[in-house]
Structure 1
Amino acid sequence: MSRIGTLMKQREPEQDSLLPAVLTRRISPARSTTVAAWSGMALGVGVLILFVTGMISHLIQHPPGWFWWPAHPVWLYRVTQGVHVTVGVMMIPLLLVKFWSVYPRFFLKEPIRPREALPRVLERLSVAVLIGAILFQIVTGLFNTAQFYPWKFFFTTTHHAMAYVAVGAVIVHVAVKIPVVRNVLSRAPKAAEAAADPIPDASTDVAGPRNALPPGNTRPPGLSRRAMLAAAGAGTVVAGLAVAGQSVPFLRWVSVLAPRSGHGPQGVPINRTAAAAAVTETARSPQYVLTVRVGGRERGFSRAELEALPQSDSALPIACVEGWSAQGHWSGVRLRDLLASVGEYRGGDVRFVSLETTGIYGSSVLPHSFATDASTLIALRLNGADLTLDHGYPCRLIAPNRPGVLQTKWLKSIEELS
């Protein structure tokens, strides 16, 4: 008897299932190591992309001393965060296929030798952590794109922390499954694949009489593994297209599930209104003054005084962590010119404080390289018209390659940090 045949015979007693026999007999031939391995590899690549792009967004918003992010190209954050959200949605069909292909294995009755007990327990725990972490990340990420928060924890920090858990679980799971993946990638013979499968393919009769159909009955051929993988790939592409248009303008006509279409007041969507920020009265007040402190000097500017300064234009996208982005044509005063009109700018970071006092993003800090960039404006107009109140009237910050939450609206003060 061949070694593979011996392995099959040895594994036969281990393949008892807790599932009813009627379900065991109907296990699809597509529920195989091949489908599980290929969908798992695709998920692993997706998790890696999500981790890298998610870390970029987190570091921009909460930069440690060593972190550096460029002001150009101005569209880079638009791409990284658009990829992050789109790939996250594309993971959903892959995850469903992965669960579908492996769930019968959760019901196996397998005798375990004492020396195998601890590794087996650790493997099952890693799978439980992997499933839980990825489901948590996808569900909370989807809710965040819709700005729906039915929980009490702070999404940003929790999502960031769980990313490490998910990546760690993926690494452990991949390490355990390397032999199986190697077999699939090397296109091992079908019998060898069946020997590695706790739940064999319906097309291989390695489970013996226990899985045999009653006389006179025939098993429907079912979906092949190749067809299942093709369907998984198609579903993944469709899921991506359904949301990608919120960051890729020419795809907006097919992105039927995108939370943001790219439209909004003055042609740009908004996340937070003036009413929600409780700034309606203060922003419209005739006594409004923007206070600027730089080089040990301080000066206040009314809206009219800002309009009297030399004006500049910048074509910049505004991109938000929810994945949507839109191009805008902004007009206003270059930040570097405004600072120079007050005092000598010595090159420190610049803090922007909003009239808003109720939110967690009422201020932001702009690094030196962004503060001196010619495209960074204290914007007064958008797409040819004065800023609407919801877009930050009387003035707001707009800088290249930054998340929307850091483009502070309804500016109250600007201060150079020492």
Structure 2
Amino acid sequence: MRRGPFRDGAFSSALHEPRTAVVLGRWLGAALLVCFLTGLISHVLQDPPGPLSGLLPARPVNGYRVTQGLHVISGLAAVPLAGAKLWTVYPRLFEWPPARSATHALERLGIAVLVAAVLLELFTGLLNTLQWYPWPFPFRQTHYWVGWLATGGLLVHIAAKAPLIAGNWRRPQVRVPGRRAFLTSVAAAVGAVTLTTAGQTVPWLRTLNLLAPRRPDLGPQGLPVNRTAAQAGTVAVPATWRLRVDGPRPYELTLDELAQLPQHEAVLPIACVEGWSASARWGGVRVADLLARAGAPAGSALRVTSLETDGPYRVMEMPAQYAEDPLTLLALRVNGETLDADHGFPARIIAPNRPGVLQTKWVARLEVVR
């Protein structure tokens, strides 16, 4: 017989029951599914598999802004949902005996893997929004593969519990005291988290943006900055700076010569993996015009090299559909002002439907890639 706080009958709340768990499971499952699918989009856009590279769409302009915003919003909403779901079912962790058969042992092992993967995914994702990485492993790759593990574990769990889920899917005839109040409280908590954080992506919620790590309207020239010029080691741009464009007809341009080329403007968002986004009016030279001057054949991709001394995105690959899009600019100005050093002076890339980490700042070289 078990004694102490985990003895039989110690968990007296009537809410530790299947119907409450199923309702919360539906909500949590929907949040995790949205988070997983939008996370896949983000991963493919940042690191496209070879065959998909030429198929990624440059439109809609705000595509990545929407999908990554949904990714972070659904991930944050899943945090209180996961807590409530675990509270509802945690007495089952103390079942006795721990395993009644080999099948039961495998089922419990699968649940342990699922819970660990979901908690790790939500924990690392939350800290990524704060740009805090207190672990030794690479965030993006780990987050990606743990997402697959959590989703696979969730599908196996649903299959194993299908009869129980089906039996409690519809509203039961027997009312459990406190269930409606508990579910209402959970929904209110999810709503509060969403309303006070989604403003970093959703403009009309900006006045409620109390808990999000970023305000999209704060920063140099009214835009946030993730990586400053000081952090990138590009505070002092050489007076001899030239833009090098390599292709069949390579050439170099000074900043004054760039300013004398035909100038264009585009209203495009900066959308970052942390979930924040902000639109601005960018001005500069079309990348397609620079590549055409270098003799780039139609359908050429682009390699962009930054002045920053190191970093995983110092060199960026841009598929042809982005390089040839008329909205893709080598930007020299933002909102009518010369670029601030933290926004990429003397020149940066801005393109539609691209993650912020691929909007390379402090550009030194463009290279035609066939």
Answer whether TM exceeds 0.5 for this pair.
yes
Q: Aligned pair 1:383/2:335, yes or no?
A: yes
Q: Greater shift after overlay, 377-386 or 225-234?
A: 225-234
In the other structure, the counterpart of 2:212 is 258
Q: Aligned pair 1:140/2:92, yes or no?
A: no
CA deviations on 1:74-93 (whole Å, 9 max, x unpaired) are: 00100000000011000111
CA deviations on 1:211-233 (whole Å, 9 max, x unpaired) are: xxxxxxxxxxxx61111111111
* Number of equivalenced pairs: 367
Q: Is the 8 A contact 2:2 2:8 kept in 1?
A: no
Residue type matched to 1:73 in 2?
P
Tell me how far 1:106 sits from its aligned partner: 1.5
Tell me how far 1:44 sits from its aligned partner: 1.4
Aligned CA distance change for structure 1 residues 405 and 188 (closer, same or farther; 3 Å): same
TM-score relative to the length of structure 1: 0.84
Residue 45 (structure 2) aligned to one of 60, 63, 68: 60
Residue 334 (structure 1) aligned to one of 286, 296, 300: 286
Q: Is the 8 A contact 1:77 1:403 kept in 2?
A: yes
CA deviations on 1:130-189 (whole Å, 9 max, x unpaired) are: 111011011100111100011111100110011111011101111111111111113455
Following the alignment from structure 2 to structure 1, what is the Cα–Cα distance between the partners of residues 89 and 60? 43
Q: SS where residue 250 of structure 2 aligns?
A: strand
Tell me how far 1:265 sits from its aligned partner: 0.7
The runs of 5 or more residues in structure 2 that have no matched partner are: none
In the other structure, the counterpart of 1:28 is 13
Aligned CA distance change for structure 1 residues 26 and 371 (closer, same or farther; 3 Å): closer
Following the alignment from structure 1 to structure 2, what is the Cα–Cα distance between the partners of residues 351 and 145? 28
Aligned CA distance change for structure 1 residues 402 and 276 (closer, same or farther; 3 Å): same
In the other structure, the counterpart of 1:69 is 56
Q: SS where residue 197 of structure 2 aligns?
A: helix
Q: Is the 8 A contact 1:18 1:109 kept in 2?
A: no
Q: Is the 8 A contact 2:249 2:293 kept in 1?
A: no
In the other structure, the counterpart of 1:90 is 77
In the other structure, the counterpart of 1:247 is 201
CA deviations on 1:230-252 (whole Å, 9 max, x unpaired) are: 11111111111121010011211
Q: SS where residue 297 of structure 2 aligns?
A: coil
Following the alignment from structure 2 to structure 1, what is the Cα–Cα distance between the partners of residues 20 and 225? 42
Following the alignment from structure 2 to structure 1, what is the Cα–Cα distance between the partners of residues 210 and 296? 51
Aligned CA distance change for structure 1 residues 348 and 21 (closer, same or farther; 3 Å): closer
Following the alignment from structure 2 to structure 1, what is the Cα–Cα distance between the partners of residues 356 and 123? 22
Residue 106 (structure 1) aligned to one of 79, 93, 105: 93
In the other structure, the counterpart of 2:266 is 314
Following the alignment from structure 2 to structure 1, what is the Cα–Cα distance between the partners of residues 93 and 156? 18
Following the alignment from structure 1 to structure 2, what is the Cα–Cα distance between the partners of residues 401 and 246? 18
In the other structure, the counterpart of 2:277 is 325
In the other structure, the counterpart of 2:115 is 131
In the other structure, the counterpart of 1:7 is none
Q: Aligned pair 1:269/2:256, yes or no?
A: no
Tell me how far 1:22 sits from its aligned partner: 8.9
Q: Greater shift after overlay, 46-55 or 343-352?
A: 343-352
Residue type matched to 1:48 in 2?
L
Following the alignment from structure 1 to structure 2, what is the Cα–Cα distance between the partners of residues 102 and 348? 55
Q: Is the 8 A contact 2:268 2:281 kept in 1?
A: yes
Residue type matched to 1:310 in 2?
P
Following the alignment from structure 2 to structure 1, what is the Cα–Cα distance between the partners of residues 99 and 334? 68
Following the alignment from structure 1 to structure 2, what is the Cα–Cα distance between the partners of residues 145 and 265? 20
Q: Is the 8 A contact 1:43 1:94 kept in 2?
A: yes
In the other structure, the counterpart of 2:32 is 47
Q: Is the 8 A contact 1:18 1:107 kept in 2?
A: no
Q: SS where residue 408 of structure 1 aligns?
A: coil
Q: SS where residue 74 of structure 2 aligns?
A: helix
Aligned CA distance change for structure 1 residues 351 and 21 (closer, same or farther; 3 Å): closer
CA deviations on 1:48-83 (whole Å, 9 max, x unpaired) are: 111110010001111112322211110010000000
Following the alignment from structure 2 to structure 1, what is the Cα–Cα distance between the partners of residues 86 and 96? 19
Tell me how far 1:25 sits from its aligned partner: 5.6
Following the alignment from structure 2 to structure 1, what is the Cα–Cα distance between the partners of residues 234 and 348? 13
Following the alignment from structure 1 to structure 2, what is the Cα–Cα distance between the partners of residues 415 and 265? 29
CA deviations on 1:20-59 (whole Å, 9 max, x unpaired) are: 4899366222222111111112111122111110010001
Aligned CA distance change for structure 1 residues 143 and 291 (closer, same or farther; 3 Å): same
Q: Aligned pair 1:406/2:361, yes or no?
A: no
Q: Aligned pair 1:237/2:224, yes or no?
A: no
Q: Aligned pair 1:170/2:154, yes or no?
A: yes
Following the alignment from structure 1 to structure 2, what is the Cα–Cα distance between the partners of residues 59 and 182? 35
Following the alignment from structure 2 to structure 1, what is the Cα–Cα distance between the partners of residues 346 and 199? 31
Following the alignment from structure 1 to structure 2, what is the Cα–Cα distance between the partners of residues 181 and 362? 49
Q: Is the 8 A contact 2:195 2:208 kept in 1?
A: yes
Q: Greater shift after overlay, 62-71 or 142-151?
A: 62-71
Q: SS where residue 122 of structure 1 aligns?
A: helix
Residue 347 (structure 2) aligned to one of 395, 398, 415: 395
In the other structure, the counterpart of 1:80 is 67
Q: SS where residue 135 of structure 1 aligns?
A: helix
In the other structure, the counterpart of 1:196 is none
Q: Is the 8 A contact 1:34 1:225 kept in 2?
A: no
Tell me how far 1:19 sits from its aligned partner: 5.4
